[in-house]
């Protein structure tokens, strides 16, 4: 994915884009009636009076703005609830929910349409024939608003709920995991150390690498006869002086600047190209649930099952679609199973060491991943099962609970 398309896609997810598009559409729809007026027979234009359209537009104008305001208030409350009960990192996904954006945008668009229509109607902008078109468009807008309201009521029943938020995080994490598993080296070749004398290209700002335009880097390297040894992946924290890429070959200032622009660096990690971040956020949900203020081990157990699905997807996609190496000029580090397991289970094992049910579910999850994964999954599962058992032995006091945990650990043998 190019840097320009990545930036455009991120901007397209912002709520105001959809609201602005629907508002412009409302203005265009309201004014289009005058343009389409010649298409209506003159005798039909006299059959619809101005009062019929005026009353419907007035109802829309007086009702849509309060509905939009109420919807925005509900969405803000859902964001606050997710921040307090799930994790602040999940709010980004809630803000990108197209259902909520479409609902609010539809209400505001209908409000703008009705206000513009009323103004044009009062100034006799349409004429008899234009009123027919306006009447038909108003009925379509009214039907659209009713359908949106019905769908919005269904969305409101679970907006911001813990289960719904976990599902949203799982979907984002699974998407990133699937794409990275199919291209574990971003389309390049496995990382190899750069030869002596390779040029360093360091980061110029402090933040997280959010995106790497591998295709652009390979094209630049191909044109200049270079080999690029990347030192960072999406999700890596960088700062001035932190190596981004070691360049094997001669470059100039302009080429180095173009290479640097292929790395998008922002203030925070994102879900798009960073599969480890999605797994970390899922683990954070379990940690928050295990805190003394919430004390909800059921949510932690739910998250453990979710993590099993996400990691199983990584192993399945990696085995089914090995990378072909379409960017031969790039040498890129990969993500290991040990790193994924550490992100997923280490925090839960630490914070849930004193909860027997969480420890038992954790041993069963690791046993499942060992059974379905390859050698790297098996080694990581055994290591984290041992670590989780050690932590539980230090936190639990009832020997019967420890015996059951040891028996669960024995299934990984």
Assess whether pLDDT exceeds 80 at residue 375. yes
List pLDDT tens digits, range 139-191: 888 899 899 988 888 888 777 788 888 999 999 999 999 999 888 898 899 99
DSSP symbols for 170-237: HHHHHHHHHHHHHSTTTTSEE--PPPTTPEEEE-SS-EEEEEE-HHHHHHHHHHHT-EEEE---TT-E
How far, in Å, are 184, 188, 211, 218, 400 from residue 326 at the CA level? 12, 6, 18, 9, 55
d(CA 102, CA 153): 13
List pLDDT tens digits, range 237-257: 999 999 999 999 888 899 999
d(CA 227, CA 246): 8
DSSP class of residue 34? Answer: H
Nearest CA among 355, 412, 407 for reference residue 384: 412
Q: Which CATH code of 3.50.50.60, 3.40.50.10860, 3.90.1170.30, 3.30.360.10 fits the domain covering 184-266?
A: 3.90.1170.30
3-class state of residue 390 by DSSP: helix
Contact 200, 246 (CB under 8 A): yes
Strands 189-190 and 330-332, bridge-based pairing? parallel
State how far Cα 86 lies from the chain centre.
15
pLDDT interval class at 49 (50, 70, 90) = low
Assess whether pLDDT exceeds 80 at residue 124. no
Tally of CA atoms within 13 A in the half-sphere of 174 that contains its CB? 14
Strands in 207-212's sheet, in edge-to-edge order, are: 237-238, 207-212, 263-266
Tokens read off for 325? 């190496």
What pairs with residue 265 in β-bridges? Answer: 209
Nearest CA among 2, 137, 117 for reference residue 61: 117
The pTM of this model reads 0.85
Q: Where are the domains of the chain?
A: 3-160, 184-266, 272-323+335-410
pLDDT interval class at 43 (50, 70, 90) = low
- Report the pLDDT value the prediction gives residue 413, as an integer from 0 to 100: 62
Write down the mean pLDDT value for the chain. Answer: 86
List pLDDT tens digits, range 58-78: 888 888 888 888 888 888 888
List pLDDT tens digits, range 197-219: 889 999 999 999 999 999 999 99
Residue 263: enclosing H or E segment and its boundaries? strand 263-266
List pLDDT tens digits, range 261-289: 999 999 999 998 999 999 999 999 999 99
3-class state of residue 273 by DSSP: coil
If you average pLDDT over each of 4-13, 74-83, 194-203, which comes out highest?
A: 194-203
Residue pointed to by tokens 């902008």: 125
Tally of CA atoms within 13 A in the half-sphere of 176 that contains its CB? 23
- Report the pLDDT value the prediction gives residue 277, as an integer from 0 to 100: 95
- Report the pLDDT value the prediction gives residue 38, as an integer from 0 to 100: 62
- Give the lowest-confidence range in 114-128, 169-183, 228-242, 323-337: 114-128
pLDDT interval class at 1 (50, 70, 90) = low
């Amino acid at each position: 994915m190019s840097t320009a398309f990545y930036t455009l896609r991120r901007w397209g997810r912002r709520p105001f884009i959809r609201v602005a598009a629907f508002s412009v559409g409302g203005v265009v729809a309201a004014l289009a009636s005058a343009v389409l007026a010649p298409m209506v027979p003159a005798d039909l234009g006299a059959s619809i009076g101005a009062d019929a359209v005026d009353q419907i537009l007035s109802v829309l104008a007086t009702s849509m703005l309060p509905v939009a305001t109420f919807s925005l208030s509900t969405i803000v409350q859902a964001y606050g609830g997710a921040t307090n009960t799930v994790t602040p990192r999940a709010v980004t996904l809630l803000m990108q929910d197209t259902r909520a954006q479409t609902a609010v945008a539809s209400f505001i668009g209908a409000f703008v349409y009705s206000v513009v229509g009323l103004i044009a109607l009062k100034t006799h902008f349409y004429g008899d024939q234009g009123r027919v078109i306006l009447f038909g468009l108003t009925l379509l807008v009214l039907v659209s608003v009713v359908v949106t309201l019905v769908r919005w009521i269904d969305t409101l029943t679970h907006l911001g709920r813990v289960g719904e938020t976990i599902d949203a995080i799982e979907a984002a994490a699974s998407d990133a995991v699937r794409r990275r598993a199919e291209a574990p080296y971003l389309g390049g070749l496995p990382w190899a150390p750069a030869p002596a004398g390779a040029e360093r290209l360091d980061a110029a700002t402090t933040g997280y690498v959010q995106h790497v335009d591998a295709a652009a880097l390979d094209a630049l390297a191909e044109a200049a006869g270079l080999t690029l040894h990347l030192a960072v992946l999406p999700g890596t924290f960088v700062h001035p002086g932190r190596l981004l890429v070691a360049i094997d070959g001669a470059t100039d200032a302009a080429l180095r600047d173009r290479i640097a622009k292929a790395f998008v660096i922002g203030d925070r990690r994102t879900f798009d190209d960073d599969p480890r971040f999605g797994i970390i956020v899922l683990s954070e949900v379990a940690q928050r649930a295990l805190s003394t203020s919430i004390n909800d081990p059921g949510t932690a157990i739910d998250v453990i099952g979710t993590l099993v699905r996400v990691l199983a997807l990584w192993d399945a996609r990696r085995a089914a679609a090995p990378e072909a190496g379409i960017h031969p000029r790039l040498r890129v580090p990969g993500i290991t199973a040990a790193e994924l397991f550490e992100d997923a289970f280490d925090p839960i094992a630490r914070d849930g060491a004193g909860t027997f049910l969480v420890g038992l579910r954790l041993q069963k999850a690791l046993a499942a991943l060992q059974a379905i994964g390859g050698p790297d999954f098996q080694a990581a599962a055994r290591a984290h099962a041992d670590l989780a058992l050690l932590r539980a032995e230090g936190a639990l006091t009832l020997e019967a609970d420890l015996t059951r945990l040891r028996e669960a650990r024995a299934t990984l043998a």
